[in-house]
Chain A
Amino acid sequence: MPKARVLIRPKEGILDPQGKAVERALPALGFEGIEHVRVGRMVELEADDPEQLGELCEKLLANPLIEDYEIQPL
């Protein structure tokens, strides 16, 4: 069955407190010069009909009001 990966991210401009928290932790670990950290979600799946993935993302995997998604066939 064809495999795919779906990447889901907070939309541009929406405050991502998780990303901020990660970013703030970095200097304490000695990592400098890293900014604009954003935390999203990855879903891996197998689909008979990859054509339906767009609708699946719109209806369930992502909330299009607050998240962008990207479907990557594997």
Chain B
Amino acid sequence: MIWGVLQFPGSCDERDALNACRVVGGEARLVWHEERDLAGIDGVVVPGGFSYGDYLRAGAIARFSPAMEAVAELAAAGAPVLGICNGFQVLCEAGLLPGALLRNQDLRFICTQADLLVVDGPKTGLSDGFSAHQQVLSIPMKHGEGRYYAPGEMLDQLEANGQVAYRYADGHNANGSVRDIAGVRNEAGNVVGLMPHPEHAVDPLTGSIDGRQVFEALEGFAR
């Protein structure tokens, strides 16, 4: 499988994302934000960082880039799309994922290792949901605007649809996300976004390889 890792002005985690795609056995290349044609790419990672300086709102400007138009088409066609941190914010702003990310509740930038509970997704035939090898993942997170929010009715709907993908374990919801939500997926399950950084947790050298599972869980959606 060939992953495309988007690169906006202000992205900063695209290299680790490239590495993570390769560690889990895929090929990967960078996709500059002005690229409109993603032919040959099976899946996309929208990486972390501060795209376009996070001006206006995190992710608000990036969603209008030519590469994001192509990502929207891929997502609609059922290809895997993974948004990490700023990438999650971009996918929410683009309407590819439900909800929004707000300033952390205590206003502090958070940089810590977090335990995430894996929440199984809908069984689609293309993927076995997340059929987790592990139910708890230890993954680092680092962000200033990571407080997941959606209105109550929308949250009920998301939970009923199995669209919550990851929750913070007890005591690990450092940003104040509603219902401890760390990551969500679209209804089809092929688009997933989360605030923590699985691409920083793929090598034993850095203490945890649990991040690999986040990438592997999406491979089933690649054609």
Residues of A within 8 A of B (CB): 14-15, 17-18, 21, 60-61, 63, 65-66
Q: Are A15 and B100 in contact (CB under 8 A)?
A: no
Contact B149 A17, beta carbon cutoff 8 Å: no
B107 within 8 Å of A (CB atoms): yes
Residues of A near B176 (CB, < 8 A) are: 15
Chain B residues with CB below 8 A from A14, complex form: 102, 149
Which of A18, A21, A61, A63 lies in contact with B100, CB distance below 8 A? A63
Partner of B103, one of A18, A63, A65: A18
Ranked nearest first, the 7 interchain pairs of A and B with the lowest CB-CB distance are A17-B107, A66-B100, A65-B100, A17-B103, A21-B107, A17-B105, A63-B100
Complex interface: chain A residues within 8 A of B104 (CB)? 17
* Chain A residues in 8 Å Cβ range of B93: 63
Query: Given contacts A15-B105, A17-B104, A18-B107, are A63 and B60 in contact (CB under 8 A)?
Result: yes
| Closest chain A residue to B93, Cβ basis | A63
Q: Could you list 5 further interchain pairs (A-B, Cβ under 8 angstroms) beyond the known A17-B107, A63-B93? A: A18-B107, A63-B60, A63-B100, A65-B100, A65-B149
B104-135, CB under 8 A of A: which get 1 and which 0? 11110000000000000000000000000000
CB-defined contacts of B60 to chain A, threshold 8 Å: 60, 63
Q: Are B150 and A17 in contact (CB under 8 A)?
A: no
Given contacts A60-B60, A61-B56, contact A66 B102 (CB under 8 A): yes
Whether A65 lies near B151 (C-beta < 8 A) is yes
Cβ proximity bits B89-102 to A, threshold 8 Å, 1 near / 0 not: 00001000001101
Known: A14-B149, A65-B100, A66-B100. A60 touches B105 (CB 8 A): no
If A15-B105, A17-B103, A18-B107 touch, whether A65 touches B150 (CB-CB below 8 Å) is yes
List B131-182 residues whose CB lies under 8 Å from chain A: 147, 149-151, 176
A66 to B106, CA, bound (A): 18
Separation of A63 and B99 alpha carbons in the complex (Å): 10
B29 in contact (CB, < 8 A):
no
Q: Do B107 and A60 touch (CB < 8 A)? A: no
A60 to B61 alpha-carbon distance, docked (Å): 8
> How far, in angstroms, from A61 to B55 measured CA to CA in the complex?
11
> Which residue of B is nearest A64, CB measured?
B100
Cα(A48)–Cα(B107), bound, Å: 38
Question: Within the complex, what minimum Cβ distance (angstroms) separates A17 from chain B?
Answer: 5
CB<8 Å pairs between A and B, sample of 16: A14-B102, A15-B105, A15-B176, A17-B103, A17-B104, A17-B107, A18-B103, A60-B56, A60-B60, A60-B64, A61-B56, A63-B57, A65-B99, A65-B149, A66-B100, A66-B149
